[in-house]
């Protein structure tokens, strides 16, 4: 440091020169537009615009095939294409890629392929829900948008952010990017500037033309039959189809592309450590769990006389099969879910030892809750099998059994997690759920129910077939098994089977009513709604329509 009386060197004078009074300080160089300009929002690049067009076309096709194609086989390649396009769009900026995103991709493709196999509405709904979940997880993992530790219960909040918040939070940036472009100016001052695209005024003009078209098109349709016919063909015989496809397709495009656009240019946020709050004293927690475990032990002891008879297929005294199978089932499921929550919260809130693990007594109680829950689930499954053997299978019984299998996987995973803390139980839960949904879709629940009930009846295992259950199921899945019952010795089953086959013939427009008589027709199919199940049903109906028609018309006339 210079001494007080040492003169300041000439080359340092500019740095230490005192400012004049009331003169504001000069801004740093990076605030000067001549040096640097950072736009408030980013304009879309040529690559962004190309992918936006692809996203838009695929979104429109997805909506059309979902609404008007009954989410059939046509939706599968389009949904896979939309997903793959998103992965390719994010791939240049990916921050992470491992085994879990690869599993999500594979399971997404499997769930999408089930749309072309199953004609069950519930199976399609579960498949689409799983695809939505897996798509959000892929975006989150590829771009490493996690704030919480992966594979734990808190990671659920990251998934909800990627699925629900990111698409809507990115809409402002997305609109700015789509309607602006980078300036072509070459000067240093114009670097980083943006200018409006001509897309915005063009869309404004199209929007202003829509009210006029709503007035003009009906007038032209009434004035000329040729134009009316042409318009019906263009609009797929329904004027609302293009409108709903356009509106909902644009909505899907904005949300899906907005999610990917926001993820691609979002700055990675620092991960948060799992903050479980202040740990609970071991004595308090052990006493709490000890009371619950004691009640469970007393419950098991009280049930030893007849509780486990479900495994042997024996009924307790005074119970019918239906009463025994239904008794306490939903209560068992509720207890298992409560136990799962207790295990997770307990192990996270328990005070850790010096080795970083929970006290032995806490882990023993957690293991007991896992084993007790597995026993309840196994007993409930045994009861369900007894119920199905006695009264046949229904859609609800089948899906309930699948859900109990899922709970078994979860509790086995948590059981192992007590010993091996590196097991990402949430990732296992997601993979197990998506895999079960894919298997259910390929199996087609409606077909499984119809096949089991009809075959069990024909073998003599069931006294009768619940025709109301078959009538409730989706028609295309049931037709092959109704065909086997068309000549059954039971008059009620025979006539119901023939009636349902004739109804299926009319629904496929292979038969119909003209005036007061029924006639055969050529039939009609929609390629967008194609599934292997519907194709099998349509082929059987078309090849045997004469017999179905002759058996069905007298019944229809006498009804």
The pLDDT value given to residue 46: 86
d(CA 199, CA 48): 14
Average pLDDT over residues 274-301: 79
Residue 139: CB atoms within 10 Å: 26
Q: Which of 522, 524, 514 is nearest to 553 (CA)?
A: 514
Judged by average pLDDT, the poorest of 298-307, 359-368, 538-547 is 298-307
Instruction: Answer yes or no: are the C-beta atoms of 477 and 447 closer than 8 Å.
Output: yes
Residue 515 has pLDDT above 80, yes or no: no
Whether the per-residue pLDDT at 12 is higher than 50: the answer is: no
Per-domain residue ranges of the chain: 46-264, 287-436, 446-558
Distance from C-alpha of 469 to C-alpha of 487, rounded to nearest angstrom: 19
CA distance 163 to 172: 17
Q: What's residue 181's pLDDT?
A: 75
Mean pLDDT in the chain? 79
Each residue's pLDDT tens digit, 373-386: 998 888 888 888 88
Predicted pLDDT at 2: 46
Position 29 scores a pLDDT of 41
Task: Average the pLDDT over 263-280 and give the result.
Answer: 65
Give the predicted TM-score (pTM) of the model. Answer: 0.81
What are the DSSP calls for 455-524, one per residue? HHHHHTSSSS--HHHHHHS-HHHHHHHHHHTTT-SSHHHHHHHHHHHHHHHHHTTSEEEETTEEEE----
pLDDT digits over 50-94, tens only? 999 999 999 999 999 998 888 888 999 999 999 999 999 988 876
- 3-class DSSP string for 22-82: CCCCCCCHHHCCCCCCCCCCCCCCHHHHHHHHHHHHHHHHHHHHHHHCCCCCCHHHHHHHH
């Amino acid at each position: 440091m210079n001494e007080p009386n040492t003169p300041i060197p000439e080359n340092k004078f500019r740095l230490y020169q005192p400012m004049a009074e009331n003169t504001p300080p000069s801004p740093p160089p990076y605030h000067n537009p001549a040096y640097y300009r950072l736009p408030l929002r980013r304009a879309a690049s040529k690559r962004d615009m190309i992918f936006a067009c692809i996203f838009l076309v695929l979104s429109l096709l997805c909506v059309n095939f979902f609404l008007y194609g009954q989410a059939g086989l046509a939706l599968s390649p389009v949904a896979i294409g939309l997903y793959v396009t998103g992965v390719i769009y994010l791939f240049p900026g990916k921050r992470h890629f491992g085994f879990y995103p690869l599993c999500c991709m594979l399971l997404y493709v499997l769930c999408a392929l089930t749309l072309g196999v199953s004609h069950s509405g519930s199976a399609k709904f579960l498949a689409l829900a799983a695809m939505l979940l897996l798509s959000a997880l892929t975006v989150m993992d590829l771009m490493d948008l996690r704030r919480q530790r992966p594979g734990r219960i808190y990671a659920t909040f990251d998934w909800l952010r990627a699925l629900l918040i990111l698409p809507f939070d990115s809409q402002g940036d997305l609109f700015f990017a789509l309607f602006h472009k980078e300036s072509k100016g070459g000067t240093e001052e114009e670097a980083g500037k943006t200018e409006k695209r001509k897309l915005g005024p063009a869309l404004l003009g199209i929007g202003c033309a829509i009210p006029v078209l709503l007035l003009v098109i009906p007038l032209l349709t009434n004035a000329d039959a040729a134009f009316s016919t042409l318009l019906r063909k263009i609009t797929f015989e329904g004027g609302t189809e293009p409108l709903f496809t356009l509106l909902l397709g644009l909505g899907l495009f904005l949300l899906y592309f907005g999610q990917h656009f926001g993820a691609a240019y979002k700055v990675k946020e620092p991960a948060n450590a799992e903050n479980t709050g202040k740990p609970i004293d071991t004595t308090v927690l052990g006493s709490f769990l000890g009371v619950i475990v004691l009640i469970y032990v007393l419950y098991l002891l009280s049930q030893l006389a007849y509780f486990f008879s479900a495994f042997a297929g024996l009924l307790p005294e005074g119970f019918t099969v239906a009463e025994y199978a239904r008794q306490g089932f939903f209560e068992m499921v509720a207890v298992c879910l409560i136990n799962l929550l207790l295990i997770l919260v307990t192990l996270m809130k328990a005070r850790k030892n010096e080795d970083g693990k929970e006290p032995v007594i806490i882990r023993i109680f957690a293991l007991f809750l896992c084993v007790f829950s597995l026993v309840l689930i196994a007993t409930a499954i045994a009861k369900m099998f007894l119920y199905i053997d006695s009264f046949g299978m229904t859609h609800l019984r089948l899906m309930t059994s699948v859900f109990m299998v899922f709970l078994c996987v979860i509790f086995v995973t948590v059981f192992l997690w007590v010993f091996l803390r590196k097991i990402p139980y949430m990732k296992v839960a997601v993979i197990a759920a998506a895999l079960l949904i894919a298997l259910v879709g390929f199996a087609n629940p409606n077909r499984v129910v119809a096949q089991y009930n009809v075959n069990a009846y024909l073998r003599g295992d069931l006294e009768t077939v619940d025709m109301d259950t078959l009538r409730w199921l989706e028609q295309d899945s049931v037709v092959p098994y109704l065909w086997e019952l068309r000549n059954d010795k039971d008059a009620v089953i025979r006539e119901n089977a023939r009636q349902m086959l004739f109804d299926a013939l009319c629904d496929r427009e292979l038969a119909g009513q003209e005036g007061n008589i029924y006639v055969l027709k050529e039939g009609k199919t929609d390629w967008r709604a194609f599934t292997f199940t519907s194709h099998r049903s349509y082929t059987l109906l078309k090849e045997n329509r004469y017999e179905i028609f002759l058996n069905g018309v007298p019944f229809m006339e006498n009804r």
